[in-house]
Chain A
Amino acid sequence: MHGSRASDSFLTEVIESTPGAETLITCLQCGTCGGSCPSGPDMDHTPRALFAMINAGMRDEVLQSNTPWYCVACYYCMVRCPKDIPITDLMYSLKRMAVREKLYDDRDAPDWSQSFIGMVDNYGRSFELGLATRYHLTHHPLKKVGVGPLALDMLSKDRMSLRPDRIKGIDQLRAILDKAKSMEAA
């Protein structure tokens, strides 16, 4: 039964944080996920390798890996997995765990997500200009050569707003989100 060895605590934690992930213990290590992944070649470890590492209890290495952050959530792995493992959902769980424990070294990806949700928490809607400026100015601004012209393009085609939209029920939303956040493990 899984969960009985000391090295299984990480495996158990990963499974419990993801609905439907009990099938992870039946993984055949067939490699369909690693073979299907569009960003697989850019990952430290393929999704399959990551599951082997989870099984081996390699908590730090897994949460430090860039694999979940390179997941584009295209769900190819999930629809092709012969054992019905909810791979993409597991990647999201690993992202959450890495953020909580501040284990992933490269700050770009988590910061992008944090900035995005910061906008949503404030306005109830995403706000591209705000998101882009906040994020890009604090993350390798000098490398962001194309962003300026891109932004100008979007503005000139009237596809970007200078000001955020705010929903009427923002207080209601905040109450809901605060309650939710209080329930999710710290």
Chain B
Amino acid sequence: MAERVGVYVCHCGSNIAGVVDVGGVAQWAKDNLEDVAVARDYKFMCSSLGQELIEQDIKEQGLTRVVVAACSPHLHEKTFRKACANAGLNPYLCHMVSLREQVSWVTTDKTAASEKAKAMISAGVRRVVLHEELEPTEVPVNPTTLVVGGGIAGIQASLELADAGYPVYLVEREPSIGGHMAQFDKTFPTLDCAACILTPKMSDVDGHPNIHLMSYSEVEEVTGYVGSFTARIRKKARYIKEADCTGCGICIEKCPKKVVDEVFEAGLGYRKAIYRPFPQAIPKFPVLDTANCTYFERGTCRACEKFCPTGAIDFEQADEYLDLDVGNIILATGYDLFDCAKIPQYGYGRLANVFTSLEFERMCNAAGPTEGKIVLRDGITEPKSVALIHCVGSRDKRHHPYCSAVCCMSALKFGHLVMEKTGADVTSFYIDMRPLHKNYEEFYDRLQQEGMHFIRGRAAEVTDAARLPGEEGKLIVQAEDTLIGRQRRFPVDMVILLGALQPRADAKETAVRFGISCSIDGWFTERHPKLDPVATMTDGVFIAGTCQGPKDIPDSVSQGAAASARVQGMITTGTVLIEPIIASIDEARCSGCRICNNLCPFNAIDYLEAKGVSSINAALCKGCGTCVAACPAMAITGAHFNYAQITAELEGILYDAVRGNGFGSPKRSGGDGRHAVIPEPALEPAS
């Protein structure tokens, strides 16, 4: 029985209609193309009315196929498939032809555009009559979720899932959760103490019946697909038996080895070889750093073991490996701070009183190396004047071209803290002030009122070479005060560098491990920068927080919550629909050559030893078609992209060249010399 195809040519306002003769093309389709029962043009097919047009025609005109010639399928394929489904037509019997992105948006030549539109619609119609009804596969969703990274975003995501009743594995690489936020003193713009607002959440995580916290652990490998991932975790040895440790801290007190704490104290303070990163650490168990431990270096000491009242020290402890089965993964791995020594003219590392933002946070923090006192590198002297340099490593083609989003606000915060604690003079050197979000501009106004100075000029250099009176013994910031157009020198006691936020050093490896991609800057790539910031192109893997790009705490929390909401949606639905546009292997034709196995970019093809044939995992397959093309026996079919469908589409495009050879049949019966002939395949296609 012949199919009845409905063709709908969208104007898309003037986007398509301004270049393509939409009415004429629709009419042409009706008059010239076989199987076309209805052909219309309409202003906005994606509108409710446009969709209803399709539904009405399916019901009243008995359409069996639909072709919508409009924008890119990326945008509205789902919309039109849904419309067909509503009218009782299998959604895969609907096909979209892109007349906008592929025709009207790439040329201004109206004649050529209309001709191309005709060719593409012809292709679409010839193809769609060969479409088959397909049904998506349903796979179950494991209600357990893996959250990687225990900073504020990861904590938020874990709590929301756990509070909703779903189990969560929270894996954190450092000995404690808390992330960078735990290092801060106060947060902008409220000047809330970071620990005061963070520790309640950390506390909620600790002992939450639905959260299994695995701290000091790393994800080694991930296999599987959405709904059923398996993650191999390496629990690094703490050298402490958690069951016996009471968290009393005597081991830390008695440990004779003191080293600079490069991580939590940002290199500004010390810790012992056996340590807890900070007093409110969750979990409370210390960690033994074997690289700096006297026992592991020389075999002596063992003071911690001697003094531990419960015998919880275990020098023989080894790393443990566990396999976790989860349904979804949320990555919240955070950021690293830019290495300010890469900009030598600012003197970091060479001039004692130049500090980074993280160092300064530690300094302000009451639990930090100076007990909250703002002092110079000598640990004693209070500064009388402080300079804040913005955009260190940000907005710079030599380092990071992007803006780090939080530095302007951090500078205001630091300014306030310095003035409050020391009464010192504070000057900020900025290019543009970026207080963008709620109450941020008001915070800027507040700091102006508090007497903070602002110089619009990117600091050129920080030097200790005094030149003018008043500069002796000071650090001098030289910059152009661009608002008056003059170079000025500012002698100060202390300089704070607002360094850029940058992706973690191993972000690219992490991306590969979880099957997602990174942008050129190294941030994890979201599915859509405007409309889908927490999903990735890999179903079941989500991203949240600064690992997706620089942002402040409210945005990190929002993303953590958003990611958990997406996951909860999948868990409550219970199953996930896998697109049926996938490949399948005809076992009868498969010779077991295994050429396809290694070509699959998604590792979706397995070899079945017992049968001697390859087999495609429907849930992992993305329908890319690589194996279909590679199979020498033509044993693999790509659903919705089979040989007949593709050939029909090609013939449709060449409609005016193959006119003489008849529509509707993929077989050629010989050319007449003047028209194109599509050659027969060497083998009969599998379908």
Contact = CB atoms under 8 A, between A and B. Distances in A.
B333 to A, nearest CB: 28
B458 A30 contact: yes
Interface stretch (B256-264, B320-328, B479-487): B479-487
A31 B486 contact: no
A48 B431 CA distance: 13
B397 A40 contact: no
Nearest to B432: A28
A32 B460 CA distance: 5
A41 B459 CA distance: 16
> Which residue, B396, B480, B486, has most C-beta atoms of chain A within 10 A?
B480
B345 interface: yes
Interface stretch (A7-15, A76-84, A123-131): A76-84
Interface in A30-77: 30-37, 40-41, 45-46, 48-49, 76
A114 interface: no
Given A83-B397, A84-B397, A46 B458 contact: no
A80 B345 contact: yes
Given A32-B458, A49-B485, A80-B460, A40 B480 contact: yes
A28 B431 contact: yes
A29 interface: yes
Contacts of B486: 41, 46
B478 interface: yes
Given A30-B458, A82-B458, A84-B397, A35 B479 contact: yes
B396 A82 contact: yes
B530 interface: no
Given A46-B487, A80-B345, A31 B461 contact: no
Contact of A30 (B398, B457, B478, B481): B457
A13 B480 CA distance: 27
Nearest to B487: A40
B395 interface: yes
Contact of A34 (B391, B396, B482): B482
A36 B460 contact: yes
B456 interface: yes
Contact of B398 (A33, A45, A76, A82): A82
A12 B478 CA distance: 32
B480 A34 contact: yes
Interface residues of A, number: 21
Contacts of A40: 480, 487
Contact of A31 (B345, B398, B482): B482
Given A36-B461, A46-B485, A31 B395 contact: no
A76 to B, nearest CB: 8
B395 A35 contact: no
Contacts of B345: 80
Nearest to A36: B460
A39 B480 CA distance: 12
Which has the most chain A C-beta neighbours within 10 Å: B398, B458, B486?
Answer: B458
Contacts of B487: 34-35, 37, 40-41, 46
Nearest to B394: A82
Interface string B384-426: 0000000100011110000000000000000000000000000
A59 B395 CA distance: 29
Interface string B416-460: 000000000000000100000000000000000000000011111
A27 to B, nearest CB: 11
B136 to A, nearest CB: 47
Contacts of A83: 397
Contacts of B480: 31-35, 40, 46, 48
B309 to A, nearest CB: 57
Interface string B332-366: 00000000000001000000000000000000000
Q: Which of A29, A31, A37, A41 has the most CB of B within 10 A?
A: A31
A31 B479 contact: yes
A28 B397 CA distance: 12
Nearest to B479: A35
B396 to A, nearest CB: 4
B397 A31 contact: no
Interface string B465-495: 0000000000000111110011100000000
A29 B485 contact: no
Contacts of A36: 460-461, 478
Which 7 pairs of residues, A with B, have the shortest CB-CB distance? A35-B460, A34-B480, A31-B480, A31-B457, A82-B396, A30-B458, A36-B460
30 contacts: A28-B395, A28-B431, A29-B431, A30-B391, A30-B431, A31-B460, A31-B482, A32-B480, A33-B480, A34-B460, A35-B457, A35-B460, A36-B460, A36-B478, A40-B480, A40-B487, A41-B486, A41-B487, A46-B480, A46-B485, A48-B480, A48-B482, A49-B485, A76-B460, A80-B345, A80-B460, A82-B396, A82-B397, A82-B458, A84-B398
Interface of B: 345, 391, 395-398, 431, 456-461, 478-482, 485-487
